[in-house]
Structure 1
Amino acid sequence: MRTGAARLAAGLLVVPLFLTACSSGGDSKSDGKPSGGVSEGPAGGGGKNKPPAAPAALTITPADGAKSVETDGVFTVNATSGKVSSVVVTDADGKAVEGAASADGATWTPKAPLANGTKYTVVAKAANADGAEVTANSSFTTVSAAKTFDYAYKPDDQDGGTLGVGGVISIKFDKPVKDKAAIERNLSVVSEPATEGSWSWLTDHDGNDRVDYRPKEYWKPGTKVTWAANLAGAKSGDGTYGTKNRGGTFTVRDSIVATADLATKHLTIARNGQVVNTLPISAGGPSYPTWTGVMVVMDKVDGIDMDSETVGLGDAYNMKNVRYAVHLSASGTYSHAAPWNAGKFGKVHDSHGCIGLSTADAKILFDTVNSGDVVEVINGTEKQLAPGNGFGDWNVDWETWVKNSALAGAAQ
């Protein structure tokens, strides 16, 4: 049963069903036993007739005819002295609302928030222990939304239905989220095989509220992941409601982990734990050291203009059509071809924070990695990449990650 929104206190609709039962009578016995109420069992056994089950009753909240009902956490169907057997909820266009009964059959709740400013009609049934049903009908109208929020999300269709072992599910909001628990309760992730994971709230590189999901450890290759954000009608606080439901399914590819060792000035590429390439690099120099820690491939493009002014470095550089660029951070970290640094790869770090390679080696890395694959930068002098800077989520220890869930310690 959902919580978090104020429930309407008045006007509950209760419909009881009264049952009667008959017992067969019998002739008076010469031994003086009263007739009726006792039947003789076979072979001398006997037992009392089973008493009728208590009548079932239904309560629909909110009350019939209610107006301005909150979209999330209010609407329920409850049965007493029986179990909910069916609930049909439709809007004015006849579109049905999905929902499910609790394990004990006592309560039915919708799967997702209801739409704003919508009239709903409810037909519910419950049955008692004898199978006798009672029906209840009701209708109500949800509150209109004066303010709405939207959100961007990853992975999206551009990822082609697959993701690397370091891939995260990320939802970035265009407005501040005050009631983070109400939002998080309407997010779901199901993985096959089952994998321990958690949502966690953070601040994006551009200052927006964001909630990401990752497993405790890198995904196991072959895992199938289905996620959903049922946020149409979800209330983020201050009277602001979502308008869109989104979600998707992806399959985790083979493990690709590239390790850039800034001490040795070489990058190794491992596929499923086996090193397949070792490439010399030239990373950030003393004035512009490369972030350390775990980075996750955001996207890649063969041919990009790089202007230092767009990442807050003044007029340090302005390069056109940089080849084999793999995007690693929102602040502008890439691995890419850097032919202007020929002679420095494997010897000297001399970039403005990116991981530079020869054109041929940059193509090898570019052709190997895709969204969600991992680049670990070790033995550097710079601090670790922040979790909101691209997908630096893996640089947060698991205990802290879970604590930053709005539902930490609650059933999710």
Structure 2
Amino acid sequence: MGRFAPVGAMVGALVLTASLALAGCGGDDREKPVVAGGGQQGESTATASPSGSAGPAQGPPAPLAVIPADGATRRPVSTEISAKIPEGGTVSKVVLTTANGRPVPGLLRRDGSSWVPSAPLRYGTRYTATVTGTGPDGRIHQGTSTFTTMAKPRSMIGSGLYLFSDRTYGVGMPVVAEFSPGIPKKDRAAVQRRMFVRTDPPQPGAWHWLPNGTQAYYRAPEYWKPGTTLTVRLALAGVPLSHGRYGNVDRSATAKIGRAFEMKVDNATKKMTVYENGALVRTMPVSLGKKSTPSSSGTMVVMEKKESTVFDTRDDPDPANRYVTEIDFAQRLTWGGEYIHAAPWSVAAQGHRNVSHGCVNVSTTNARWLFSRTLIGDPITVRGTERTLEPGNGWTAWSLSWPEFVAGSALPVPEGGEPSAF
């Protein structure tokens, strides 16, 4: 229902040969994410015992081919440490050091496929990797490789993460990664392998790419459990993304999920029902978008909150939709400009008929009450309108069924969802 100028805020494989200016009710003005870079810290060793082995065989360690190969140059700073081990073997330890012997922290993937540094390596720098593993016969294998990373590339792809550390979000908050330009379909699997999400308590999840590759969402089969900690790292710095371009930076965030708070709007009754931790806490009349500018049906989440703002739609192609209006308690639901907001001018219509330009109109009292309780990421489901929510028009991860959602992953997703990579 209005527009104002936006404010700027915007993981090689270990080869085991066995295996906004706001636009109210119209317009597309999105706030770009900015988050702190960095990586997760962790031990660089993993212990394992080969099944069916009575213990290590005697004799000198068998040679182990480490990847990157010894003497390799111009390796991306996203390089992971891997090795070739006989079928059925396991890696027990990975050590990566700088030229002066300083250890580099990292983590071994849960599937044992590779060891991932906890932060991007330095450009134009020499490293030494030592990998120790145990073969299926119990023999110890070890190998060492010294390699050098590439110079900083000139051509990079920007990325963003709509998640900030030390903040609390609603149970519907998806992890949202953004890319400019978008990632082509053929390159998405490699990118997705470098996008890590860990949840505490553990909950499986999956990634879903928008068709144009500009955004990818991560969510669980159901809303997050209240109190969950989300630890996210988009480990994309130096990753070859597409067309000779590399990722520009790592982005990471650790955030909390708060209490369960959910809003449901039914066009048939023109009412919103509000639930907190499963209990109904309030019912309020609403007025939705009129037939010429209908509200979207689907599950959205609160993306942004403005206690007071101005909706300006004077550039709308339809003169009938042009106006400048002061708005209180505005909560963005879509990039296209749908909000929940106070609409004292439509109180008489609320609960009876739709008169808005696509927004969810409520009284000032109800708008203030909602605004004081909602979090970014709280879900709202609207049903029964003349328009279906378009994918990508907001953080639309929850507007898809779980089978539909996992179909958008660039990598296979196990039934029930993918566990954490580490």
TM-score (normalised: structure 1): 0.76
Q: What is the CA–CA distance in structure 1 between the aligned matches of 2:111 and 2:219, rounded to whole Å? A: 32
Confirm or deny: 8 A CA contact 2:174 2:217 kept in the other structure: yes
Give the 3 Å change call, closer, same or farther, for CA 328–313 of structure 1 in structure 2: farther
Correspondences of 1:9-408 after superposition (within 5 Å): 52-72=58-78, 75-77=81-83, 87-91=94-98, 96-100=103-107, 109-111=115-117, 115=121, 117-122=123-128, 124=130, 126=132, 136=144, 138-142=146-150, 144-157=152-165, 160-178=166-184, 179-203=187-211, 209-309=214-314, 314=319, 316-383=321-388, 385-408=389-412
Q: What is the CA–CA distance in structure 2 between the aligned matches of 1:148 and 1:216, rounded to whole Å? A: 33
Larger RCO (alpha carbons 8 Å, 6+ apart) = 2
Confirm or deny: 8 A CA contact 1:58 1:80 kept in the other structure: no
**Aligned residue type for 1:286:** K
Which range moved further: 80-89 or 247-256?
Answer: 80-89
Which range moved further: 243-252 or 61-70?
Answer: 61-70
Kindly state the Cα deviation for residue 297 of structure 1 after the two structures are TM-superposed.
Answer: 0.5
User: Secondary structure of 1:258's match?
Assistant: strand
Q: What is the CA–CA distance in structure 2 between the aligned matches of 1:359 and 1:104, rounded to whole Å? A: 53
**Aligned residue type for 1:406:** A
Kindly state the Cα deviation for residue 66 of structure 1 after the two structures are TM-superposed.
Answer: 2.8
Kindly state the Cα deviation for residue 172 of structure 1 after the two structures are TM-superposed.
Answer: 0.9
Q: What is the CA–CA distance in structure 2 between the aligned matches of 1:265 and 1:397, rounded to whole Å? A: 25
Percent sequence identity over aligned pairs: 30
User: Secondary structure of 2:127's match?
Assistant: strand
Confirm or deny: 8 A CA contact 1:285 1:351 kept in the other structure: yes
Kindly state the Cα deviation for residue 192 of structure 1 after the two structures are TM-superposed.
Answer: 2.1
Confirm or deny: 8 A CA contact 1:266 1:346 kept in the other structure: yes
Give the 3 Å change call, closer, same or farther, for CA 112–251 of structure 1 in structure 2: closer
Confirm or deny: 8 A CA contact 2:209 2:217 kept in the other structure: yes
Which range moved further: 55-64 or 320-329?
Answer: 55-64
Kindly state the Cα deviation for residue 96 of structure 1 after the two structures are TM-superposed.
Answer: 4.4
**Aligned residue type for 2:161:** Y
Kindly state the Cα deviation for residue 64 of structure 1 after the two structures are TM-superposed.
Answer: 3.5
Kindly state the Cα deviation for residue 104 of structure 1 after the two structures are TM-superposed.
Answer: 11
Q: What is the CA–CA distance in structure 1 between the aligned matches of 2:226 and 2:205, rounded to whole Å? A: 15
Kindly state the Cα deviation for residue 109 of structure 1 after the two structures are TM-superposed.
Answer: 3.2
**Aligned residue type for 2:371:** F
What whole-Å deviation, never above 9, does each CA across 1:314-369 have from its counterpart, x for those lacking one?
56233343101011111000011111223211122111111111111111121121
Q: What is the CA–CA distance in structure 2 between the aligned matches of 1:358 and 1:371, rounded to whole Å? A: 21
Structure 2: segments with no counterpart, 5+ residues = 1-10, 15-55
The alignment's C-alpha RMSD in Å is: 3.5
Confirm or deny: 8 A CA contact 1:169 1:212 kept in the other structure: yes
User: Secondary structure of 1:167's match?
Assistant: coil
Kindly state the Cα deviation for residue 74 of structure 1 after the two structures are TM-superposed.
Answer: 6.9
Q: What is the CA–CA distance in structure 2 between the aligned matches of 1:255 and 1:170, rounded to whole Å? A: 20
Q: What is the CA–CA distance in structure 2 between the aligned matches of 1:327 and 1:96, rounded to whole Å? A: 46
Higher radius of gyration, 1 or 2: 1
Confirm or deny: 8 A CA contact 2:159 2:177 kept in the other structure: yes
Give the 3 Å change call, closer, same or farther, for CA 269–409 of structure 1 in structure 2: closer
Give the 3 Å change call, closer, same or farther, for CA 126–214 of structure 1 in structure 2: closer
Kindly state the Cα deviation for residue 3 of structure 1 after the two structures are TM-superposed.
Answer: 4.2
Structure showing the higher strand proportion among its residues: 1
**Aligned residue type for 1:67:** T
User: Secondary structure of 2:199's match?
Assistant: strand
Q: What is the CA–CA distance in structure 2 between the aligned matches of 1:390 and 1:312, rounded to whole Å? A: 22
Q: What is the CA–CA distance in structure 1 between the aligned matches of 2:80 and 2:277, rounded to whole Å? A: 48
User: Secondary structure of 1:364's match?
Assistant: helix
User: Secondary structure of 2:73's match?
Assistant: strand
Kindly state the Cα deviation for residue 389 of structure 1 after the two structures are TM-superposed.
Answer: 0.8
Q: What is the CA–CA distance in structure 2 between the aligned matches of 1:339 and 1:389, rounded to whole Å? A: 27
Kindly state the Cα deviation for residue 53 of structure 1 after the two structures are TM-superposed.
Answer: 2.3
